Structures are given as structure tokens and as C-alpha cells.
Amino acid sequence: MMAATRGALIVLEGCDRVGKSTQAKLLVEYLTKRGKPAKLMNFPDRSTTIGKLLDEYLKQGQEFDDHAVHLLFSANRWEAASSMEKLLKSGTTLVLDRYSDSGIAFSSAKGLDFDWCRNSDAGLPLPDLVLFLQLSQEESRARGGYGQERYEKEQFQATVRDKFSRLQQDNWTVVSAEQKSIEELQCELRKLVDAAVKSALNKSLGHLPT
Ligand code: ADP
Ligand code: FDM
Ligand code: MG
């Protein structure tokens, strides 16, 4: 009976300024308006004790060894895992602004091994849909300058872009954001999300593999 009400786990991934945060928020509004319980979650979740350390790290007020900070990003997902499972099982669809793939892409861009990065997330709730938004470096540059955070630098972002393309997972749905208005892209994403919400009803929740 529980499976009949399961929500879907939907993840938005992609490089900086591709529109993840904008689209994630709009998707939650869309689902909610249609009477489908939905919740937006951001990773890192900067509101927890671990999240506050990550916020300090990203704002460059705190240093950590690259391995240590990777594990903190992972721990920040693990501390949310049981409440995510509870919400999903009770019928709430979760829309995540970044998740495990960002962890792998950003940490491996600093030189850490892909598989080592993946391992700490093994066992976390498995996304039903990963929407990987793609945008050329030129168009993303036209969306304005980078902020002041640790990773917001052209050269590092290019390395992350390269890691994301190597990481390209079988379970990704790659969506081009190129030359699309916020509304056009939202319209495309809504169709994919509607289908994922529908098919999640008949599937049990999986877990990220090692
Ligand atoms: P991300 O979370 O992927 O970094 P954001 O959603 O914060 O991206 O968007 C980055 C910037 O680009 C914001 O200023 C936003 O208003 C703008 N933006 C988002 N989507 C589009 C779009 N389709 N076309 C033009 N500008 C956009
Ligand atoms: N980030 C995010 C990581 O390095 N590892 C992770 O596991 C996750 C989830 O944190 F630079 C990085 C990616 C980005 C920063 O920025 C978060 P936003 O603007 O809050 O997405
Ligand atoms: Mg964002």
C-alpha cells in the first residue's frame, strides 16, 4: 500500500549558472499547484551543523583537506537521507538542487579518484530522474560574472565541466538549456517530471550503488 503513494526523487544537475536553482523552484511550485506534495532541497544544505562548515569552506573562511571536505559534503547528504526516505515513502516528491553527481564532479576536479568519491554516497536514496542541464560556456558566461565562492572561477569550472562529461551516467536525462527561455525549459522539464512522478508510483525506492 505504501508503494502506491511514493513520491519521486528528482535531481537537477549541471554546471554553474545553467539554471538549476531557477528550474528546481519552478518545478516544486508546478507540482504543488497541481495538488502533488513536493519539496525543494538544496545540496549542500547549509542550515545544518555540517552545512555551516561547508558554507564557511565555500566562502573561503575555513580550510579542509580535499578528502575531508568531500566526506563532509557526503555526510551532509547522509544526514538528510532518512528524512528524504520518509518523505518519499509518504508520497512527497523531492526536487533536489544538486546531489551526489556534483559531489563526484567537484571533488574529482580537485584530483580525487572518481570511485573513491562515489563510494561515500553508496546506499543513499537513488534518484528516479537526474535532469542534467547543459549550456555552452559562452552562453553561461553571458549570464553574468561569477560570485566570490571558492569554486566560482572560470578555470576550475571548465575542469568541473570536463568531469561532468566524463561522469555522464546512464541514468541521466541530458537536457539542453541552450537558447531557451526560463519558461521554455520549464515546459520541457515538466513533461519529464510528470512522467517520472507517474512511474515512481509503481517502483520501490532504490539506493546508489558502490
Ligand atoms: P544555477 O543554479 O544552475 O547556478 P540559476 O538558476 O541560479 O543557475 O541561474 C543563473 C542565472 O541565470 C540567474 O541570474 C538566472 O536568473 C539566469 N537564468 C536562469 N535560467 C535562464 C534562462 N533560461 N535564460 C536566461 N537566463 C537564465
Ligand atoms: N558542491 C556541491 C561540492 O563541491 N560537492 C557537493 O557534494 C555538492 C552538493 O558546492 F560549487 C559545490 C558545488 C558548488 C557549491 O553551490 C554549491 P550552490 O550555488 O549552492 O549550488
Ligand atoms: Mg544554484
List residues bridging with 132 in a β-sheet.
Answer: 13, 174
Is residue 4 very low, low, confident or very high in pLDDT (cuts 50, 70, 90)? low
Report d(CA 19, CA 91) in Å as an integer: 26
Q: Which ligand is nearest to the CA of 140?
A: 1
Ligand 2 binding pocket includes 51 (Cβ within 6 Å): no
Full strand arrangement of the beta sheet holding 129-134: 38-42, 93-97, 9-14, 129-134, 172-176
The ipTM is 0.99
Q: Which ligand is nearest to the CA of 14?
A: 1
What residue spans define the domains of the chain? 9-206
CA of 19 to the centre of ligand 3 (A): 7
CATH 3.40.47.10 describes domain 9-206 = no
Report d(CA 147, CA 156) in Å as an integer: 13
Q: Provide the mean pLDDT of the chain.
A: 95
Q: Render pLDDT for 144-196 as a digit per residue (tens, 0 to 9).
A: 888 899 999 999 999 999 999 998 877 899 999 999 999 999 999 999 999 99
Ligand 2 binding pocket includes 102 (Cβ within 6 Å): yes
Indicate the top mutation candidate among 21, 67, 106 to test ligand 2's pocket, ranked by most ligand atoms within 8 A of CB. 106
Q: Which atom of ligand 2 is found nearest the CA of 98?
A: 9
